[in-house]
């Protein structure tokens, strides 16, 4: 039993370091954008599928979309460029925002789910207007577009991996690493430059998108980039690999019945693990498949195969310990059985009791992790999931007023289901190689050494870093680019998602971003 618990603990800690798993509800991806009668193909491979469609929820804005098929041309090998712009006005500037993990350009620009949600709760005009104003102020894409900016973003290939794929069907994702992401991004940025008529764009990124923005800029800043905006997606410099590992280690609470006290022990790892990425690669892509536990991708359902019921028992024990101590402890990552059915039911019954519609059983967690009161709606269930996942408060400090259930539910209900492990394994392997940030160090990848060229990036930069996840993952603001015009904001007590849709992001993220962009237009 002890050995099993050690294995489980080791696996969970690897998950903590490798991933930042948001959770569990995803959009219905069975009906993606398809070419309309107005669609036109161009000889560059892009197909226009949405051409100036007025948003129903925010009619001041109109959207455009272009889709491109990519090698090796399987059904999921597609990317999309999306544009959001204010109708009838000439844009004052252009920005391209890379989405985060499990996110997509459609999530950042679409208004479809807002309308579905309002219809499902029979919202009156007052409720519709309140939600509309919230979206206008909190969504960075809508906020900037309404103020005259031409906003572009993209759908990664993950947006076209439907939720009916089985884990064993995802072996193609072991090839979805940094080279693919940067190559796809280059195509999307080039198309955005063509459509906008701009020679260079401001490049922004949320979460994973911030790392992509930095890596993209390291390779292409001279050709494409006017400035960089990091939204809890980096500290503007080099990642200190072992510091990041230590920061992500959860507090381990050791309780002694003899002493009658609890002592926090803070995790740390020794320096010098250059083979960490390679070890993870072998374990995940060669060893686990033999055991029947294919893990080519992160599944938002958190289905860990044979370990799922064991982990569920561990989380139950942690909940019991948390209640006895009076505060949350441990690592949480609840699985969601019958994932597609739960997601669809939650979208159509957001105020309903959070149950698995297939079995009728309540979904975990059952109770509000702070008050202990039963959770009585899918909205509050989503908020509790976001608060608890991995370490309490990392992703949102919702119970201290930094976010709300409605906003968090929208985010998690529009995530894509799968995300490739390879991109994280490569990142870990890259930043733990001796001399990873120099061209003379150990580097045997088939792609550009982004980290060795951060210090050559000569464009201005602004970064927003939450203490919930961003500072733990990347460290404090520490610009490592050539340009001295670097601005950083540390958002104390904020969780990761609070940066994107939180209560205060309008005044402390979106407004400063807009002002910074305006100041750096010329």
The per-residue DSSP string of 382-446 comes to HHHHHHHBBSTTSS--GGGTS--HHHHHHHHHTS-SEEESHHHHHHHHHHTSTTTTSTTSS---S
Residue 416 pLDDT greater than 50, yes or no: yes
Average pLDDT over residues 376-391: 91
Whole-prediction pTM: 0.86
Residues 76 and 15 in one domain: no
**Domain annotation covers residue 37:** no
Please give the Cα distance from 245 to 13 (Å, whole number).
Answer: 10
Work out the pLDDT band at 42, boundaries 50, 70, 90. low
Per the CB < 8 A criterion, the answer to whether 224 and 196 are in contact is no
**Domain annotation covers residue 130:** yes
Residue 251 pLDDT greater than 80, yes or no: no
Which of 360-364, 403-407, 428-432 shows the lowest mean pLDDT across its residues? Answer: 428-432
Q: Which range in 19-33, 225-239, 259-273 is most confidently predicted, on average pLDDT? A: 225-239
Residue 9 pLDDT greater than 50, yes or no: no
Residues 220 and 249 in one domain: no
Residues 264 and 207 in one domain: no
The domain tally of the chain equals: 2
**Domain annotation covers residue 51:** no
pLDDT number for residue 289 = 52
Average pLDDT over residues 342-362: 94
396, 414, 432 — which closes off a domain? 414
**What is the CA angle 491-383-360, rounded to 5?**
165
Residues 199 and 317 in one domain: no
Q: What is the CATH number of the domain that holds 227?
A: 3.40.50.1820
Residue 309 pLDDT greater than 60, yes or no: yes
pLDDT tens digit string along 190-216?
999 999 999 999 999 999 999 999 999
Work out the pLDDT band at 13, boundaries 50, 70, 90. very low
Residue 248 pLDDT greater than 80, yes or no: no
Coil, helix or strand at residue 187: helix
pLDDT number for residue 18 = 39
Residue 57 pLDDT greater than 60, yes or no: yes
Residues 6+ apart with CB under 8 A from 479: 235, 236, 237, 461, 463, 486, 488
pLDDT tens digit string along 477-497?
999 999 999 999 999 999 999
Residue 494's domain comprises 60-239+451-519
pLDDT number for residue 361 = 94
Which of 15-24, 50-59, 337-346 shows the lowest mean pLDDT across its residues? Answer: 15-24
Residues 14 and 89 in one domain: no
Residue 48 pLDDT greater than 90, yes or no: yes
pLDDT number for residue 38 = 31
Residue 129 in tokens? 């207007």
Higher pLDDT, 296 or 514: 514
pLDDT number for residue 518 = 98
Coil, helix or strand at residue 94: strand
**Domain annotation covers residue 286:** no
Residue 412 pLDDT greater than 70, yes or no: yes
Average pLDDT over residues 286-309: 67
pLDDT number for residue 268 = 31
Higher pLDDT, 426 or 87: 87
pLDDT number for residue 240 = 64
Residues 83 and 230 in one domain: yes
**Domain annotation covers residue 440:** no
Residues 265 and 224 in one domain: no
Q: Among residues of the chain, what percentage have pLDDT more than 90? A: 59
82 strand-pairing partners:
65, 153
Residues 378 and 317 in one domain: yes
Higher pLDDT, 402 or 19: 402
Residues 130 and 223 in one domain: yes
pLDDT number for residue 252 = 35
Higher pLDDT, 278 or 329: 329
Average pLDDT over residues 145-160: 98
**Domain annotation covers residue 291:** no
Distances (CA, A) of 76 to 32, 36, 182, 197, 354: 11, 20, 17, 30, 31
Residues 92 and 132 in one domain: yes
Residues 82 and 228 in one domain: yes
pLDDT number for residue 350 = 96
pLDDT number for residue 241 = 57
Q: Among residues of the chain, what percentage have pLDDT more than 70? A: 78
Mean pLDDT (the chain) is 82
Residues 107 and 200 in one domain: yes
Average pLDDT over residues 448-473: 94
**Domain annotation covers residue 426:** no
Side-by-side strand order, sheet with 61-69: 46-54, 61-69, 78-86, 149-155, 93-98, 201-206, 225-231, 461-466, 486-491
Work out the pLDDT band at 328, boundaries 50, 70, 90. low
Average pLDDT over residues 76-102: 97
Please give the Cα distance from 119 to 365 (Å, whole number).
Answer: 27
pLDDT number for residue 304 = 67
Relative orientation angle of helices 422-431 and 2-18, to the nearest 10 degrees: 90
pLDDT number for residue 292 = 52
**Domain annotation covers residue 18:** yes
């Amino acid at each position: 039993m002890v050995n099993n618990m050690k294995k489980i603990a080791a696996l969970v800690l690897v998950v903590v370091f490798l991933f930042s798993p948001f959770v569990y509800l995803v959009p219905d991806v069975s009906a993606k954008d398809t070419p309309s009668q107005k669609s036109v193909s161009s000889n560059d491979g892009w197909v226009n599928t949405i051409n100036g469609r007025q948003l129903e929820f925010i009619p001041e804005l109109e959207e455009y979309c272009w889709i491109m098929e990519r090698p090796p041309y399987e059904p999921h090998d597609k990317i999309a460029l999306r544009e959001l712009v204010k109708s009838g006005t000439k844009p004052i500037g252009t920005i391209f925002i890379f989405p985060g993990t499990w996110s997509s350009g459609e999530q950042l620009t679409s208004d479809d789910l807002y309308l579905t949600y309002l219809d499902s709760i029979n919202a009156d005009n007052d409720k519709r207007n309140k939600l509309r104003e919230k979206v206008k102020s909190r969504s960075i894409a809508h906020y900037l577009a309404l103020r005259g900016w031409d906003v572009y973003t993209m759908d990664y290939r993950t947006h076209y991996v439907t939720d009916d794929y089985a884990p064993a069907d995802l072996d193609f994702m072991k090839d979805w690493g940094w080279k693919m992401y940067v190559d796809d991004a280059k195509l999307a940025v080039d198309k955005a430059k063509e459509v906008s008529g701009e020679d260079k764009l401001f490049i922004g990124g949320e979460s994973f998108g911030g790392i992509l923005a930095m890596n993209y800029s390291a390779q292409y800043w001279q050709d494409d980039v006017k400035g960089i905006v990091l939204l809890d997606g980096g500290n503007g410099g080099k990642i200190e690999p072992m510091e990041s590992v230590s920061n992500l280690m959860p507090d381990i609470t050791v309780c002694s019945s003899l002493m009658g006290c609890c002592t926090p022990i803070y995790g740390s790892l020794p320096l010098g693990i250059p083979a960490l990425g390679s070890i993870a690669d072998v374990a995940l892509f060669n060893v686990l498949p033999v055991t029947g536990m294919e893990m080519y991708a992160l599944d938002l359902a958190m289905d860990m195969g044979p370990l799922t019921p064991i982990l569920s028992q561990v989380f139950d024990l942690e909940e019991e310990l948390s209640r006895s101590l009076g505060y949350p402890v441990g690592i949480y990552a609840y699985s969601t059985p019958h994932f597609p059915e739960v997601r669809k039911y939650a979208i159509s019954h957001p105020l309903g009791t959070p149950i698995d519609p297939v079995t009728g059983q309540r979904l975990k967690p059952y109770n509000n992790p702070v008050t202990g009161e039963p959770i009585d709606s899918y909205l509050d269930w989503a908020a509790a999931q976001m608060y608890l996942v991995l370490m309490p408060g990392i992703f949102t400090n919702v119970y201290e007023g930094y976010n709300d259930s409605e906003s968090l539910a929208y985010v998690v209900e529009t995530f894509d289901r799968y995300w490739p492990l390879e991109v994280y394994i490569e990142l870990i392997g890259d930043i733990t190689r001796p001399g990873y940030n120099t061209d003379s160090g150990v580097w045997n990848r088939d792609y550009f050494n982004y980290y060795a060229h951060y210090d050559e990036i000569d464009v201005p930069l602004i970064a927003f870093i939450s203490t919930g996840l961003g500072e733990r993952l990347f460290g404090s603001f520490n610009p490592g680019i050539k340009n001295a015009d670097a601005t950083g904001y540390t958002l104390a007590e904020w969780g990761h998602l609070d940066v994107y849709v939180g209560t205060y992001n309008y005044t402390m993220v979106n407004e400063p971003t807009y002002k910074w962009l305006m100041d750096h237009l010329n």
